[in-house]
Amino acid sequence: MDNARLERVLDQLRLYEHPLLAFDARAKEDGVEVIIRFKDPSLKVHTYYFELHPRDLDHPQFEWTFQRQLYDCLHDYFVEMFTRTPQDLKERT
């Protein structure tokens, strides 16, 4: 694994600060796995993971594509946190 790729992601993550979420990354095969977790451990919220592949990590516009992917994953993460939605059939009966 190219540690430069991991360092590149960690450098980008240091640019982001959020009051509810903590960001980290680790090497995974030839890519990098980004980890998003809820800062308050008293709330039982799952940790979100997404992978960055070598082609994305080596892209000349990495900083912009990383931000877009991070924001897309944050959207997915928050949607997954719902404990009830109108689609819950058991709640309708």
* pLDDT at position 86: 86
Predicted confidence (pLDDT) at residue 21 exceeds the cutoff of 90? yes
The CB density around residue 72, as the number of other CB atoms within 10 Å, is 11
Helix (H) or strand (E) holding 10: helix 3-13
Q: Residue 54 belongs to what domain range?
A: 3-82
**Within a domain: 64:** yes
Total domain count for the chain? 1
**Which amino acid, one-letter code, is at 74?**
L
Mean pLDDT of 5-12: 96
Predicted confidence (pLDDT) at residue 64 exceeds the cutoff of 90? yes
* pLDDT at position 83: 85
**Which amino acid, one-letter code, is at 88?**
D
**Within a domain: 25:** yes
**Within a domain: 91:** no
Global pTM value: 0.86
In angstroms, the Cα distances linking 29 to 7, 53, 92 are 15, 9, 44
